[in-house]
Amino acid sequence: MIGRLRGVTTLVAFHAHPDDEAIATGGAMKIAADAGHRVVLVTATRGEQGEPRAGVLREGEALWERRVVETERSAAILGIEGVRFLGYEDSGMIGEPTNDNPACFWQADIEEAAERLAVILREVDCGVLTIYDEHGGYGHPDHIQVHRVGRRAAELTGVTEIFQATMNRDRIMAMMEAQAAGDIGEEFEARRSRFEESPFGMPEADITHAIDVSSAVDVKRQSMVAHASQIGDDSFFMQMPPEAFAQAFGTEWFVKLDARRAADEPFGTSLFPSAD
């Protein structure tokens, strides 16, 4: 039980692709590492279906090779102890022909993939596991599969502290309305309608934990920058003013599996049980 001696817990963050860790749980991982916990990143794929920015790849370099290097850089920035890849291929967005690739994560047998993850969970003595919500945050097939495989691997290994990374739909809508600056016309209404109809995040009432990562938001941004094949200086994220970036990324939202939060109950503030 090395991972749980003297108050130390092993946090395993299970993600679909390189750069997901930086965007979704980078702050929580950094804070956990700084507190002395062991942090391990497991990524289901190497992000083969990503769209590389022009000019970033060397001649003959495969995108997945670059993304592995970028993941290692991001991990070093966040204080992650180790990075593991499950060995599946990126499935691409829902409805794409790449979903039919027999080697892609979307096509993986749940039991087989869960056992691959379970081997790692046992090896590192996982105490806390992060996955995604049941629709993968925004409907990406690999993210949905992370939820399914992560849940099953936790059952196989007896891990009970399982947190589903998500987005706060209510807060995002409030930010959208604030950015509209009172000029809420047909375009805004159409965008809001699309947002409300999409499987994007969770309502605030269903969220159990809000992790304040404002102290690590600058490091989180650096970890995102490390994924330069996908996130460039001209990207939407990097173009955000510091205060807007901190507002958007300074809190990470989670739903603890099989838990509910009463309407008058505050959010949990840590992924580690003894800290709340």
Judge whether residue 5 has pLDDT over 50. no
- State the chain's mean pLDDT as an integer: 91
Strands 209-212 and 126-132: unpaired
Model confidence pLDDT, tens digit, residues 80-115: 999 999 999 999 999 999 999 999 999 999 999 999
158: Cβ–Cβ under 8 A, 6 or more apart, which residues? none
Question: Rounded CA gap, 208 and 164, in Å?
Answer: 10
The per-residue pLDDT for 187 is 56
Question: Rounded CA gap, 145 and 110, in Å?
Answer: 8
Where in the chain are the domains? 2-167+203-264, 168-201
Question: Rounded CA gap, 220 and 226, in Å?
Answer: 10
Model confidence pLDDT, tens digit, residues 173-202: 887 777 665 555 555 566 666 666 677 899
Judge whether residue 4 has pLDDT over 50. no
Structural fold of domain 2-167+203-264: Rossmann fold (3.40.50)
Tell me, yes or no, if the pTM score tops 0.75.
yes
| Higher-confidence position of 194 and 65 | 65
Question: Rounded CA gap, 114 and 105, in Å?
Answer: 11
pLDDT tier at 3 (50, 70, 90 boundaries)? very low
Question: Rounded CA gap, 229 and 50, in Å?
Answer: 9
